[in-house]
Amino acid sequence: MKSPVRKMFDGIASRYDFLNHFLSCYQDVLWRRYCCKCLKKMVAADGADSASDDAQGFARKVRLLDLCGGTGDFANTFRKIFEGRCACKCSSQKETSHGLVVDPAVIGDFSYGMLAEVKPKKIDAHAVQLDAMKMPFAECQFDVILNGFGMRNVPDARGALMESYRVLDAGGYLCVLEFFSPRNFFNKFFYKVLAPLFIPVMGAFFSGKRDAYEYLVNSIIRFLPVDEFCKLAEECGFEVKKVKMFDGGISFGVFLRKPVGTP
Ligand SMILES: C[S@@+](CC[C@H](N)C(=O)[O-])C[C@H]1O[C@@H](n2cnc3c(N)ncnc32)[C@H](O)[C@@H]1O
């Protein structure tokens, strides 16, 4: 049977990207870019530490999974940034690929409606329908896993973290970009007072699905605060490499690593 969350994402898929950008005033685009730039630095630095293939003139392949990847925006941003094709002006230095080449990405999501929106974007990726808590992949298949605004929607965050750990190769990164449960006064005011006033109304106006946008606000309040999420990730075996707060805590980028030398 289709879960209510899956049905909800199927129902808003065609308006999802537009509303994401509109409701966040395009901040979601900048947050994804920041996360991908940071990952690029981390992955490039790891290559420089080891006897890199790059030094011998070979490109290093990066195997990417965009988990809860929806319409594929995070994977698309990742590819552009890793291959030095980002058109943004947020970096003064000319971007290079650092000898990194991204394999065709896997965009994994349980909503067929969301995955159907990947195709028109012509991303070099395979869309795979899957459940984040039970993925159809063998161990250690990926070097980087992205999870943009998906963790909060999964019924069991521990299960999704453990499953991500299993399919990630040792030394690989999991980047979770998420709205965590508010902790400070500003965030509590934003999510408990302001957001319930305007997000469901705007969502209803543009997509006709008020329930989905009420769910969005409630799911943020119900989710873990970022520090508890980091503790949970450590319990699942990850090292917390970096936590980046965006816009006063409206969202966070959490960079986790599966320790080198672990099976
Ligand atoms: C808020 S959207 C995020 C989409 C995209 N990652 C982005 O950055 O905009 C959350 C996505 O998680 C997916 N999702 C929720 N629970 C899931 C699960 N258990 N397994 C796989 N995907 C799931 C939904 O279908 C939806 O596409």
- Whole-angstrom Cα distance, residue 169 to residue 140? 4
The closest-lying atom of ligand 1 relative to the alpha carbon of residue 69 is: 6
pLDDT digits (tens, 9 = 90+) for 149-205: 999 999 999 999 999 999 999 999 999 999 999 988 889 999 999 999 989 999 888
CA distance readout (Å), 88 to 30, 39, 83, 171, 237: 9, 17, 13, 29, 35
pLDDT digits (tens, 9 = 90+) for 17-27: 999 999 999 99
pLDDT at 50: 57
- 57 — pLDDT class (breaks 50, 70, 90): low
According to CATH, the superfamily of the domain at 4-85+94-257 is Vaccinia Virus protein VP39 (3.40.50.150)
Q: Please tell me the distance between residue 57's alpha carbon and the centre of ligand 1 in angstroms.
A: 38
Q: Please tell me the distance between residue 93's alpha carbon and the centre of ligand 1 in angstroms.
A: 33
List CB contacts of 206: < 8 A, sequence separation 6 or more.
Answer: 15, 18, 19, 22
For ligand 1, pick from 153, 154, 158, 252 the residue to mutate: most ligand atoms within 8 Å of CB. 153
Q: What is the pTM of this model?
A: 0.92
The closest-lying atom of ligand 1 relative to the alpha carbon of residue 177 is: 8
Give the number of C-alpha atoms closer than 13 A to the C-alpha of residue 226, restricted to the C-beta side: 23
pLDDT digits (tens, 9 = 90+) for 107-151: 999 999 999 999 999 999 999 999 999 999 999 999 999 999 999
- 103 — pLDDT class (breaks 50, 70, 90): confident
Task: Name the closest-CA residue to atom 13, ligand 1.
Answer: 68
